[in-house]
Structure 1
Amino acid sequence: MMRQPLRLGMVGGGEGAFIGAVHRMAAALDGDWRLVAGAFSTDEGRNQRTGAQLALDPARVYPTIEAMLTGEQALPADARIDAVAIVTPNHLHAPMAIAALDAGFHVFCEKPMAMSVAEAEAIARSAKASGRHFGLAFTYSGYPLVEEARARIARGELGDIRLVQVEYLQGWLSQPIDNGGNKQAEWRTDPARAGIGGCLGDIGTHAFHLAEHVSGRRVTALSADLSIHVPGRRLDDNVAALLRLDGDARGTLKASQVAAGEENGLKLRVYGSLGGLEWAQMEPNTLTLRWLDRPAEAVRAGGPGLGDSTMLLLRTPAGHPEGYVEAFGNLYRGFAAAIRGEAGPAFPGVPDGLRTMRFVEAMVASSKSDEKWTPLNLATDA
């Protein structure tokens, strides 16, 4: 008997929204999900056009998330949605996630998890009380060679981890386009919708999550400098930090959206007592390994020498590039497997969301403080 896909409802991601389209492609990639409902925009015309473009039943294109949750609850269990994908600006993540979890639906949410640690903890409590799964779109953890790097470090191939260096450089906010009608820039630089971190919350959280996820080390203290380079901007557009990690490791983190000319320059380097590795998002199918006692290696996606957990994330033979959408699809595949109670790829969830929100608040506090080091709580639960 053919297994039916799980049913997905989406909030946000209306006509013209980049990230909503990415979520829909990723969810559909492996046949695990089918989009059947949505509340895509508060603009009713845009909302209805999006539903029509996606060939949805007009009765399941809802004006609000509240209407969607109520309408779907009224349907038979084998027809209603299984999960809600939240692809809205940050200020809506917590209220929408909590409402969906409390209504009995699983939630897959854009990052960052919320606007504050307090909101993230409230989501964690709702997820625990409801018994539903909560997934978080830290996409880069879904890349096969990110998993290969993580697994090799966990096996001790690099020896004792000493240095963790991560950077995420973009240039798209180098000019004041947030004052010129660019909707994606407007909300990301608005404290009421983005939160207390601009570049920090948008891409600094990705850098932080990737560094901890791959290295297996947790940041225990940090010394941060958040800056604004475009006059009149209200949130940081450039971030730098020194990091202290457990196991006596040291690190650096850089994130910028005013590095003019940069595209999506996410890079990670980790060094241990025996060797180091390097991965770059814009060349995601190569993992470079460097050793004290032998020549450097270039490990390739689909090539020889990959671990089982890496092979699980690959879809094509060597030389057939896989990238951003496929990495995103790995998260949705793992999310579906968890809901079905099956084994599948790991995906970021509540602990990752709580860690990154504590990181954001510690970074802001550090940047405002005259103290050299600001501690970062190691807890991963509410």
Structure 2
Amino acid sequence: MALNEPLNRKLRMALIGGGAGSFIGRVHSIAACLDNRAELVAGALSSNPERSKASAPDYGIDESRAYGSYEALLDGESKLPEDQRIDFVSIATPNHTHFEIARAAVEAGFNVMCDKPMTFDLGQAESLMETVENSDVVFAVTHNYTGYPLVRQAREMIASGELGEINAIRTQYIQGWLRTQLEAEDQKQAAWRTDPTKSGAAGAFGDIATHAYNLGRYMTSELPESVSCHLKTFVEGRKLDDYGTAVIRYQNGALGTVTASQISHGRENDLEIEIDGTKGSLRWRQENPNEMIYRQNGKAHQIYTRDPNAAYMNDSGANACRLPSGHPEAFFEAFSNVYASAFDAMAARSAGQKIDNSNTVYPNICDGVEGMYFIQQCVASSRADAAWLPLKHAVARC
């Protein structure tokens, strides 16, 4: 098969953000290029023009396409001949900058890969959705955990009825890196994530609980009804939550829980999900991503391992694998799977096909809006002593 049919070439990528001290910018660049379907050719790597251009050699970006701002990048790339300009931008900047960058990129006609949470607040998310709906661009949100092979395996198993009716969805995302007030030490990642002017109304819940909530929605497709949430800030002097738990009522009668912590000693990046159905249950952990446990009463527990050639793997799971069994695949590969699904849509757009931005394998603009609504309602619920608040609004739009 030719590369990115019908383009028959690599997609050209621009990275916005990702300069010195960035974690996620480097991840985006690796994930996008992992399958040799894209190449990084341009960047605006920092909000500081000098730092932006100084970081370009770290990514192999030519000086002529190392821009001092995202505005300069979009303007400069738009003026290039069609066979030279970028195909998409990847946004790897703090939350409060996502909206302006993404809107400008969409209006310029470029496809967008946007880090989560998609925007600073719900109002921006809904405005951005209108902009995307009035365009023909591909818009993806990098909820990267949806790209793991066994997550996609579980999604197809649930859709085909193997678990029966879903009764419960339990997710937790537990970290410990913010146990002390790192933001007071000017640690870059901690500083903006705990700053309400940059991160938004939520701390840990905006940063990682959105992943946990999205994972349950992605795997089960169950529609939320309402939420009750309690957020807590344990580290003295911190301005945003570092721990919280939400209870979710789903429209089919199921119950869900989302717990997020960034202050649990010794915990690294422990995202876990358990799903109970009337016919069976399953459990998956991001720190052991190549195994999934499936259970039924009275039967031996089954351990699904990531194996693209095994008879028990469905198409969704097998197609997300790159390596034979026993060769671990993890974070970069899962992130790349989100990119790969979006690349398929970008290639289809280039062939003149209409893109459905609400029914995709990759997380899309609707997921981004729903994530912002989840954050808004959780914060509002917590401020109202864990009052039950509706959670249907964003889902109804897609």
Q: Does TM, scored on the shorter chain, surpass 0.5?
A: yes
- Partners of 1:123 and 1:289 in 2: CA distance: 39
The letter of the residue matching 2:235 is V
- Partners of 2:242 and 2:211 in 1: CA distance: 15
The letter of the residue matching 1:136 is V
SS in 1 for 2:83: coil
Q: 2:345 matched to 1:338? A: yes
For 1:232-243, what aligned pairs fall within 5 Å after superposition? 232-243=237-248
Q: 2:383 matched to 1:368? A: yes
SS in 1 for 2:53: helix
Q: 1:345 to 1:97 in 2, by over 3 A?
A: closer
Q: 2:12 matched to 1:7? A: yes
Does the 8 Å CA contact 2:373/2:394 hold for their aligned counterparts?
Answer: no
Q: 2:190 matched to 1:190? A: no
Cα deviation, residue 43, structure 1: 3.0
Identity level (%) = 40
Cα deviation, residue 98, structure 1: 0.2
Does the 8 Å CA contact 1:224/1:242 hold for their aligned counterparts?
Answer: yes
- Partners of 2:328 and 2:301 in 1: CA distance: 22
Does the 8 Å CA contact 1:330/1:345 hold for their aligned counterparts?
Answer: no
Cα deviation, residue 295, structure 1: 1.1
Cα deviation, residue 200, structure 1: 0.7
Q: Moved runs in structure 1, 4+ residues, more than 4 A?
A: 342-345
SS in 1 for 2:394: coil
Q: 2:121 matched to 1:116? A: yes
Unaligned runs of 5+ in 2: 350-354
- Partners of 2:181 and 2:386 in 1: CA distance: 32
Q: Which residue number corresponds to residue 51 of structure 2?
A: 46
2:135 aligned to which of 127, 130, 135: 130
The one-character-per-residue Cα deviations of 1:181-216 (angstroms, maximum 9, x if unpaired) are 101000000011000011011001001000111122
The letter of the residue matching 1:356 is G
The letter of the residue matching 2:184 is N
SS in 1 for 2:134: helix
2:271 aligned to which of 259, 262, 266: 266
SS in 2 for 1:247: coil
The letter of the residue matching 2:158 is I
Does the 8 Å CA contact 2:50/2:68 hold for their aligned counterparts?
Answer: no
Unaligned runs of 5+ in 1: none
1:315 aligned to which of 313, 322, 326: 322
What is the CA RMSD across the aligned residues, in angstroms?
1.6
SS in 2 for 1:75: coil
TM-score by length of 2: 0.93
- Partners of 1:371 and 1:238 in 2: CA distance: 14
Q: 2:98 matched to 1:93? A: yes
SS in 2 for 1:62: coil
Q: Which residue number corresponds to residue 29 of structure 2?
A: 24
Q: 1:371 to 1:44 in 2, by over 3 A?
A: closer
- Partners of 1:75 and 1:164 in 2: CA distance: 49
2:374 aligned to which of 355, 359, 375: 359
For 1:47-62, what aligned pairs fall within 5 Å after superposition? 47-62=52-67
Does the 8 Å CA contact 1:159/1:272 hold for their aligned counterparts?
Answer: yes
Does the 8 Å CA contact 1:331/1:345 hold for their aligned counterparts?
Answer: no
Q: 1:60 to 1:208 in 2, by over 3 A?
A: same
Cα deviation, residue 378, structure 1: 4.3
Q: Which residue number corresponds to residue 327 of structure 1?
A: 334
Does the 8 Å CA contact 2:49/2:69 hold for their aligned counterparts?
Answer: no
For 1:63-212, what aligned pairs fall within 5 Å after superposition? 63-212=68-217
